[in-house]
């Protein structure tokens, strides 16, 4: 009998403990579930749909993934396919595949942000984007160092006649006196456009001992080692002029016959900004009449050789025959390092945009 009573007590005890545990679990569930619903694992900006239509370093994708920003990575999509697809997205991450004209933007009512992997914004109608409250992001911090180094490389190539003498020596021609150079440290260098790249160039040129002057309509030089001057003074004093301007209606063909006529006779012109800042026909005329000593460019008016008119072919072919002309294929800002840096900068700016969407 005693054994039976103990057994009943044990059963009742387990029943009571189980019942209490069940109540405790139910109460916790009632409190925990609303918390889970109120704080989902993905942040509030996860609803923004993002499309990437050009090639980018994987660090961009990794950063977006790590911050729960959903995206579709379509670097091989065609221009026309991209324009159609963009209508479904809030954020577009691009390089130069699509020209965002006013008419294109009109058909993208959902678009809230265009992030361009590069410094320039010349494939985007900025005014039209502003009217539609589309935030524009770019990454001049990502390739300013690369462009600055390439610019100095072009300067040194011309000042020491490296390209010309290289071709001669390979052809077993030994002309020392004809290839005597000059030191850029002995020259006054005018930096036209003193933004990210202009400032990066100045920083590197200081070690050469050059006299540095700069003109920028919107960002006057605050560098104690770089003298801020007017445009006309920069033209009249510079032995070398380096262009670091965005392409706008104001800067398009800024360098023309009139501009060149106001420059110091026998100066050198370097263009690593945008091709259409310079009128190549006028530059050719200045080279031929001696006003311009040498010309180097990483950019051309028209960079699609297959679309050249006969006049463009004639001008280009004549430029290409001149030993005091050095041309490179728009690679100044396209180094292995800048490929990473541009993606990193765009990723961080996008993260800031999505996190602080309300302030935009």
Question: Three-state SS string across 82-125, please?
Answer: HHHHHCCCCEEEECCCCCECHHHHHCCCCCCEEEECCCCCCCEC
* pLDDT at 219 (0 to 100): 75
**Tens digit of each residue's pLDDT (9 = 90 or more) over 64-118:** 999 999 999 999 999 999 999 999 999 999 999 999 999 999 999 999 999 999 9
Helix, strand, coil proportions of the chain in percent (round to 5)?
A: 50, 15, 35
pTM here? Answer: 0.84
Catalytic residue among 79, 303, 337, 352: 303
Dihedral, CA atoms, 160, 164, 170, 176, nearest 10 degrees? -50
Catalytic residue list contains 72:
no
pLDDT at 305 over 90: yes
Residue 6, C-beta contacts closer than 8 angstroms, at least 6 positions apart: none
Helix (H) / strand (E) element for 252: namely: none
Sorted by where each begins, the domain ranges of the chain are: 44-138+338-359, 143-327
Among 32-41, 115-124, 192-201, the range scoring the smallest mean pLDDT is 32-41
Q: Is 303 a catalytic residue?
A: yes
- Token pair 């499309």 is found at 51
Active site residue 330: yes
Cβ(176)–Cβ(357) under 8 Å?
no
* CATH number for region 44-138+338-359: 3.40.50.720
Task: Give the pLDDT of residue 359.
Answer: 53
Dump pLDDT digits (tens) for 213-272.
999 998 776 788 999 999 999 999 999 999 999 999 999 999 999 999 999 999 999 999
- Is the pLDDT reported for residue 6 higher than 70? no
Second-level CATH architecture of 143-327: 3-Layer(aba) Sandwich (3.40)
Residue 47 confidence (pLDDT): 77
Place of tokens 């003193």: 194
**Marked catalytic residue, from 95, 141, 227, 330:** 330
Q: Which position among 274, 301, 312, 344 bears the catalytic label?
A: 274
């Amino acid at each position: 009998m005693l054994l039976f009573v103990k057994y009943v007590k044990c059963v009742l005890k387990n029943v009571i403990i189980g019942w209490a545990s069940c109540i405790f679990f139910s109460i916790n569930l009632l409190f925990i579930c609303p918390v889970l619903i109120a704080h989902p694992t993905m942040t509030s900006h996860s609803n923004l749909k993002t499309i990437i239509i050009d090639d980018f370093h994987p660090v961009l994708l990794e950063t977006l993934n790590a911050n729960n920003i959903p995206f579709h990575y379509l670097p091989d999509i065609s221009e026309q396919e991209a324009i159609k697809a963009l209508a479904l997205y809030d954020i577009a991450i691009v390089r130069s595949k699509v020209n965002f004209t006013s008419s294109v933007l009109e058909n993208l009512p959902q678009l809230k942000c265009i992030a361009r992997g590069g410094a320039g914004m010349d494939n985007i109608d900025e005014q039209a984007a502003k009217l539609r409250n589309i935030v524009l992001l770019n990454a001049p911090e990502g390739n300013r160092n690369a462009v600055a180094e390439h610019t100095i490389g072009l300067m040194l190539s011309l000042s020491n006649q490296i390209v010309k003498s290289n071709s001669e020596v390979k052809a077993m021609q030994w002309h020392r006196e004809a290839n005597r150079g000059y030191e850029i440290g002995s020259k006054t260098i005018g930096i036209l456009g003193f933004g990210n790249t202009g400032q990066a160039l100045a920083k590197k040129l200081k070690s050469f001992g050059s006299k540095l002057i700069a003109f920028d309509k919107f960002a006057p030089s605050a560098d104690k080692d770089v003298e801020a001057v007017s445009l006309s003074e920069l033209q009249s004093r510079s032995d070398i002029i380096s262009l670091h301007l965005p392409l706008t209606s104001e800067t398009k063909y800024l360098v023309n016959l009139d501009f060149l006529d106001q420059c110091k006779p026998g100066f050198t012109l370097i263009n690593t900004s945008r091709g259409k800042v310079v009128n190549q026909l006028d530059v050719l005329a200045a080279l031929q009449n001696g006003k311009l000593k040498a010309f180097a460019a990483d950019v051309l008016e028209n960079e699609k050789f297959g679309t050249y008119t006969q006049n463009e072919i004639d001008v280009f072919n004549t430029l290409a025959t001149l030993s005091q002309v050095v041309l490179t294929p728009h690679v100044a800002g396209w180094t292995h390092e800048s490929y990473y840096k541009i993606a990193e900068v765009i990723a961080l700016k996008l993260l800031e945009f999505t996190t602080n969407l309300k302030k935009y």
